[in-house]
Amino acid sequence: MYSTRGNHQEPSSSLAAARSDSSKLSSEEIAVLRRSSFINGKKFVPFFPGDASYANLSGNGRWRDSDGILDLSAKQQKRLAGWAPAEDYIPNATVVNQVSPRNVTQTLVSDCSFVSAMILSAGYENKFHTQIITNSLFPQNRERKPVLNPYGKYCVRLHINGCWRLVEVDTRFPFDQNGRLLTSYSKDKAELWVSLLEKAYLKVMGGYDFPGSNSSIDLHALTGWIPERKALQDTGNDDGRFFTMLKTRMGSGHVLATMASGRLSSDLEEKSGLVPTHAYALLDLRQVGNLRFVKLKNPWAERSWKGKYSYQDSTRWTSELQRMLSYDPKAAAADDQGVFWIEWNDLIIYFDVCYLSWNTSLFKFDRKFHGSWPQGPKKDLYSFANNPQYLLTIDSSVDTMVWLLLSRHITEKDDFAENKDFITLIVYKNNGERLYLPTSGTKVLDGIRINSPFYLAKLPVSKSSSHEKYTIIVSEYEKNHDIDFTLTAYANVKFSLKELNDNFSHQKRVKSEWNSSNAGGCQNNRETYSSNPITKITICSKCTLLIEIRAPKQYSVQMQLEDLSEKKLEESGSYRSGYSVLKTVLDPGTYQIRSSTFNKGEIGPFFLDFSSDMQFLL
């Protein structure tokens, strides 16, 4: 147990909240979550549902967050008169009167994606009577509704870096000289929930000078749901399948989504009325005849679409269409609240991406691992030896789908703003063994490398009468530093997921080199091959031995293992760029390993790494 900010501590048992199933976290996983608790110089411990202190945040006087006030955006700084408790300007303040999406309004912070996430979450809570917003704010009364705290201390639950985490905030906010909030707010002036949630999220993200995000990331923080990114250009020739799927799934409460506009010239921005590179909340989808309509909301609560089927388009809004879409252009012209309808063919011209967030209740089973990947080779094009790997075993009597979500933990604002980590998942179907070479096994999924904190892979699994085994490999393009991550699998049939490690208890490394006298090349060079460097190893008892050779990637390398007593040879296979591996079972005896490059005369250093479940001598 160790201390945290404020009055909270982090008992080891609370970390169980980071696992969605009943299994316990390993010591390595606990270490990952503890490291990931330190974000932008502040500490955010895992949220523990059983901690009664969240419901009763009492104290003397008015609580002030010891982490201080947040950095402001440039627009806020220009209009800032000062910081003050919200209650000083809002005498009848309350946390929640009604969780209404129409009340959520963005102002001077570039967090349109998070504000859109609040709009969607509020709408979902109203429509499906499922707590999202009100389940995230504390203290709460017996009806689990957030209530005002005279002490001024609030706790917010956010899903960050692999688990639910606790964020503490006070009610100090920036105001202008007219007493207006310089943060996002509720149009019900008495309500604080919009401003409190935004402040908590931006405290984690480093301040109100937030560089921006996307709504699947932000919805994941609010809901813990599964994020996905869909390029809208890919839907242009799909005969409406994506539109129909989205319409059906949204209507069933399975998914929330936003639409992100693309880059627009100043002329096109003025003509369309749209804000470039901006997140719009997706409120509804309807089809009228052959026309497909999408209802969006600008989180600014103003600036709507000016094109076809805007409130300005008097010719297309027939009385029948107004009835079908429950829309009154005249009322919208007076006050549209940033809400508008746009036809799908126009949408995919002006908008680039649909960010989706899938309800985890779609799946009966899930399994989560928190892992660490220390810096190793920059690229894994030639070797998977250093990549984290997991064994998925599934026995399905029907065709099914397994979703695999990789989440990279981010702890610095600059990393979030300039994400240079291109992560993905690669899946092989084999006998469940750890893979060392990309050419081994049957590759069934090779994910796109993407510079996002999340990558979602959807693995189709065919009906089978036996256990199917898959090796899941965490991969990154040009890895430059250590990373912590969380891998979560979701399915509607039972499955097992476990780490794939050889668990060799004995390892040794030998450094050697090819020089002018021993760089003999491959066996095509009959006169010089035997001069290649030789390493001898003595096996004391029967064991599994793994030998890896690591050399400059411009050299194609191979190893040859020889049993000196029986003159048996075993090779690491074809010559490969910079890396090769040989895994075998050996009886007691003495063996030698000959290391060679394909071309003779290639001079340079190399390493031989030996790993085994039994002791050996070099």
> In whole angstroms, what is the distance from residue 250 CA to residue 248 CA?
6
Q: Is the dihedral of CA 130, 132, 136, 138 positive or negative?
A: negative
- Identify the CA nearest to 359 among candidates 132, 156, 101, 145: 132
Instruction: Kindly state the helix (H) or strand (E) to which residue 332 belongs, with its residue range.
Output: helix 329-334
- Output the CA angle 191-194-196, nearest 5 degrees: 95
Of 103, 112, 155, 409, the catalytic one is 112
> In whole angstroms, what is the distance from residue 160 CA to residue 217 CA?
9
Helices 112-128, 215-223: inter-axial angle, 10-degree rounding: 50
Say whether 532 is catalytic.
no
Q: Residue 324 in 3-state DSSP?
A: helix
- Kindly state the DSSP code that residue 373 receives in the 8-state scheme: E
Say whether 298 is catalytic.
yes
Where are any strands of DSSP class E within 414-542? 422-429, 442-446, 454-461, 468-477, 483-491, 495-499, 506-514, 534-539
Q: CB–CB of 513/485 below 8 Å?
A: no
Where are any strands of DSSP class E within 112-171? 137-138, 154-160, 163-169
- Output the CA angle 139-54-63, nearest 5 degrees: 70
φ/ψ of 39, rounded to 5, equals -125, 120
> In whole angstroms, what is the distance from residue 83 CA to residue 105 CA?
20
> In whole angstroms, what is the distance from residue 499 CA to residue 242 CA?
35
> In whole angstroms, what is the distance from residue 41 CA to residue 441 CA?
43
Tell me which amino acid residue 165 is: R
Say whether 525 is catalytic.
no
- Identify the CA nearest to 432 among candidates 354, 496, 367: 496
Instruction: Kindly state the helix (H) or strand (E) to which residue 159 belongs, with its residue range.
Output: strand 154-160
Of 278, 354, 387, 409, the catalytic one is 278
φ/ψ of 587, rounded to 5, equals -85, 165
DSSP-derived pairing of the beta strands 351-358 and 255-261: antiparallel
- Identify the CA nearest to 225 among candidates 496, 407, 29, 462: 407
Residue 519 Cα to chain centre, angstroms: 46
φ/ψ of 343, rounded to 5, equals -80, 145
Of 103, 149, 298, 387, the catalytic one is 298
φ/ψ of 414, rounded to 5, equals -65, -35
Instruction: Kindly state the helix (H) or strand (E) to which residue 345 belongs, with its residue range.
Output: helix 344-350
- Kindly state the DSSP code that residue 97 receives in the 8-state scheme: S
Tell me which amino acid residue 171 is: T
Catalytic (active-site) positions: 112, 278, 298
